[in-house]
């Protein structure tokens, strides 16, 4: 196999879960399908602490997988951000030429914009991974204005990078039509790779930790698990209204286990607004390696992604983790391909609107699922992760792209 030197561009910080549990597993697969591939990973760090000498150990560990790490200090969009990318871009051009890099592999469209410019300057092949809309998504969640500079710049660069890319690896099947409708481009080489999950780490056979149940006061309770953030691309007020409705379904037997880095004071404020007793919500921030042990305490889970138009093309990582553990999932309609999968396989409940009546309806659906034999339900739902979120999907795609 011909060796390839690959520059991987991301917009994330190295300690971020999106690098640790989403990006690095894929990069290791790329080096496995062709042992001669050498990767240089670019991350954006918000803290100078990441550059400390202690990270030499990280670099050594990555080097064993043929991965080099190139961090830059992040600056938000604006003049400082443009200056950051100007200096970083010049550095990367020198690096591309020095290391004889032939492929620029970008995760999501914001780094894809930089990848496009570097590809035009250096002649490197451009590959877009985790391809989904970002510019329109930022308008939908209220971060950008439709007529603003940031939106127009990224939207134009999304179109340009789509046209230049030799390979596009999207999160959902629908992105092929999105590119045709929004950019006027028919993508010639197109793959679909949803967010894959470590099926060995997330096991449906993982029993509930009795000590942990007791520690968190969850013994004998119906537990809804949520792992993630609130607000932004996620619902917030609606989540706590849903939890409030669940107390009407199960009374004092209902509990929420929220795995999040939100401050406790924030959660208590959200509970008060919904008229929900905050003692019913247990919140913890845990390392990703411990997430399965905590998540396995749940009886069902929720994925509260805002059902805006572009979320039809996203890939919620948490759904694969929930499925792998065998948990039924409550999710709004039209989120990725996942809402349709859950509906088709009776693996949870779909929220078609955010009303008390609809919350009650979905809770009855979940209650009926929970009354079925748990082992059978868990095995049935885990099969969704095996089918739709298996790393073998990524392995097959990367083998075709890189070997």
The predicted pLDDT at position 52 comes to 63
CA distances from 84 to 153, 155, 171, 313 (A): 17, 20, 29, 30
DSSP for 109-149 reads HHHHHHHHHHHHHH--EEEEEEE---HHHHHHTTSS-TTSH
Class of domain 5-193: alpha beta
The model's pLDDT over 162-215, given as tens digits with 9 standing for 90+, comes to: 999 999 999 999 999 999 999 999 999 999 999 999 999 999 888 899 999 999
SS3 192: strand
The predicted pLDDT at position 360 comes to 97
The candidate with the shortest Cα–Cα distance to 259, out of 221, 292, 307, is 292
Class of domain 210-388: alpha beta
The model's pLDDT over 217-263, given as tens digits with 9 standing for 90+, comes to: 999 999 999 999 999 889 999 999 999 999 999 999 999 999 999 99
Domain ranges of the chain: 5-193, 210-388
Q: What sign does the CA torsion over 175, 177, 182, 183 have? A: positive
Buried b / exposed e over 197-235, threshold 16 CB at 10 Å, is bbbeebbbebeeeeebeeebebeebbbbbbbbebeebbb
The model's pLDDT over 255-296, given as tens digits with 9 standing for 90+, comes to: 999 999 999 999 999 999 999 999 999 999 998 889 999 999
The predicted pLDDT at position 51 comes to 67
SS3 255: strand
Angstrom distance (rounded) from CA 56 to CA 45? 16
Q: Is the pLDDT of residue 53 over 60?
A: no
Q: Is the pLDDT of residue 160 over 70?
A: yes
The predicted pLDDT at position 1 comes to 62
Angstrom distance (rounded) from CA 144 to CA 195? 26
């Amino acid at each position: 196999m011909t060796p390839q030197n690959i520059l991987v561009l991301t917009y994330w910080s190295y300690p971020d879960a999106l690098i640790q549990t989403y990006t690095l597993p894929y990069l290791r697969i790329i080096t496995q399908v062709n042992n001669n591939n050498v990767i240089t990973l670019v991350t954006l760090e918000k803290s100078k602490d990441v550059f400390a000498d202690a990270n030499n150990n990280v670099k050594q560990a990555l080097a064993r997988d043929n991965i080099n790490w190139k961090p830059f200090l992040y600056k938000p969009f604006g003049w400082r951000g443009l200056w950051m990318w100007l200096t970083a871009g010049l550095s990367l051009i020198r690096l591309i030429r020095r290391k004889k890099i032939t492929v620029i592999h970008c995760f999501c469209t914001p780094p894809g914009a930089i990848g496009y410019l570097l590809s035009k300057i250096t002649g490197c092949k451009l590959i877009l991974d985790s391809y989904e809309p970002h510019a329109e998504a930022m308008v939908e969640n209220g971060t950008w204005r439709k007529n603003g500079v940031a939106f127009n710049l990224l939207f134009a660069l999304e179109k340009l990078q789509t046209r230049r890319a030799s390979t596009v690896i999207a999160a959902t099947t629908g992105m092929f039509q999105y590119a045709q409708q929004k950019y006027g481009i028919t993508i010639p080489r197109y793959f679909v790779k949803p967010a894959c999950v470590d099926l060995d780490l997330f096991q449906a056979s993982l029993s509930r930790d009795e000590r942990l149940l007791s520690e968190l006061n969850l013994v004998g309770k119906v537990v809804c698990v949520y792992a993630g953030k609130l607000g932004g691309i996620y619902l917030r007020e609606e989540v706590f209204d849903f939890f409030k409705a669940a107390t009407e379904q199960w009374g004092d037997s209902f509990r929420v286990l929220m795995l999040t880095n939100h401050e406790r004071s924030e959660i208590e404020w959200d509970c008060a607004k919904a008229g929900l007793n905050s003692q019913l919500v247990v919140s913890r921030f845990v390392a990703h390696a411990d997430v399965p042990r905590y998540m396995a305490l749940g009886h069902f889970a929720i994925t509260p992604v805002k059902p805006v138009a572009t979320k039809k093309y996203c890939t919620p990582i948490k759904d694969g983790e929930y499925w792998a553990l065998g948990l039924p999932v409550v999710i709004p309609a039209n989120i990725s391909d996942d809402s349709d999968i859950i509906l088709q396989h009776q693996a949870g409940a779909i929220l078609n609107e955010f009303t008390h009546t609809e919350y009650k309806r979905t809770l009855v659906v979940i209650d009926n699922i929970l009354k079925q034999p748990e082992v059978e339900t868990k095995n049935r739902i885990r099969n969704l992760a095996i089918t739709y979120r298996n790393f073998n999907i990524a392995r097959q795609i990367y083998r075709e792209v890189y070997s």
